[in-house]
Structure 1
Amino acid sequence: MGARNLWDEIPETVPGAAVARQLGAGRYAFRTRTSAVSWWGSFMLLLVTAFCVMMFFVISGESEWTNAILFIILGACTFLGAIAVPLVARFRPVVWCAVFENGVVYQYGSQPPIAGAWDEITGCQRQATDLVRNGVTMSTTHSVYVQMPAGNFMVSGDTPDAQEISALIANSWVEIQNRIAEEDATVRMVELGALLETGGRVEFGPFTVSLAGLEHGGTVMDWKKISEVELMGSTVCVVVTGERKPVREPVAAVPDAVLFLTVSDALRQAARQTR
């Protein structure tokens, strides 16, 4: 795969879609298309196969006219292939992908571009696949698969440019998801604060939060004795002063884990200030 960061060659439809969707200023442009090397590899494989077939007829004792015709056919195929292969590789549809401040635009060939803001992306998966031969990594293909209402697309390549745009898309999406989660947690914090002030309790899976403390497994831990409530990898850990082992629960078992951590930290800090 070949790729370059070229804003001067990008089709007008790509920045045009960005303007229509108000995606802001451009950050990175990427294009990729099938390299002529891969096409030559396929062509040479067919050529070798044809040569083997021709040699089979030669060895089998066919007439000189048959051998001459086979040589002519093989020569003609080689000549046409030498012209056709680069042309096919040259005019194969180009994939364009451009990252903007507020979103991303993708276009395949002459098809209409797919454009969307970061908060419109419903799924984003980034992957790196190594090509290993005899224990040696020959190349690494970087890809990112994006899902959004306007359409799904994937960008991939084995160049630094492909790695760069994959990271930009994935990281930008994660950043906006975290921001949305934090804003949602702030709004819900106000609602939960009013509920807790009236003596209410809020359940987060195996944990129950109240002004009295954090309940887990039937035991209520005083906020003043809790030194940390944090996310470590895929586990929610509650560190209690004087206890040898922290309380651990998988983050998948804690609904609204971000909100739970935010509420717990706020109550823990408030308890420390009232000492």
Structure 2
Amino acid sequence: MVKTGTAADLPARVRRAAEDARVGEFRAVYRPRSADRRSRTWLVLLGLPGLVLLPFAVAFLLDGFGWASGLSLLLTAAYLGAAGRVLVQEVLPGQSPTTVHLFEDGVVLSSWRAVTPFTWDAVTELRVSGVRSAATGVATWHLTLSGRPGTEGEALIDGDVPGARELVETVSREVTERVLPKYLSRVETGGKVRLGPFSVTRQGIAKDGEFVPWENVDRVEIEGGMVHVDRSDRPAGLTAIAAEVPNAVAFGELTRRLRGDVRPDGNGGRSVRSMNG
């Protein structure tokens, strides 16, 4: 769910991390719900019967009822074993849900085991992928942020959470605005920008040994969780999974700038095409 409010409403550890990182004014909180809710439901359904049966199993063992104690032990072990598996694999570390706290100058990612702040200026890589459910048509967004060496955070944002798409677009826009000038400067001075499997130079784009000069680049799109570099000289272009391309939106904007195919937006700036799940 998404929740607005003030910084005073945040958990103390999140508030301290935000103040230390100087991420600015608090905006909103985005909490995942679907996967975690399902896991916790199974944990209750399996764990509760096991806990109820446990004292009976102990009592039967103390009273020496062989068949009753054996059956109760078997059922208790089955229920608690299944609940323990859900707990370890889906609820505890590595699968714990991450909450995204959006601020004016960055985000703070928090789970029960860690709190990681990122200012927009400190983000070096942003990887975004969206998986759309065939049943509901709703996309679940996976965000991975990387900052200073050794600093990384991940979050899953359910598409049915109000404002989920806007959050993804906000993070993509803020990161793009900061890394794009660095990429342009590097290419314009004769350098190379490497983004996942793609390499961008003043001459064109390369991927896996295949080179496409700018005059043969038709367009670059991010759609359906894929990055497409369409060619004007042949049907097959260059493609890659969006999650494998760090700063994929910045990559798309960089190619449009170098091709001279940037459309002005209504505010006198430059438009950046958003990512689709």
Which protein shows a greater Rg? 1
TM-score (norm 2): 0.48
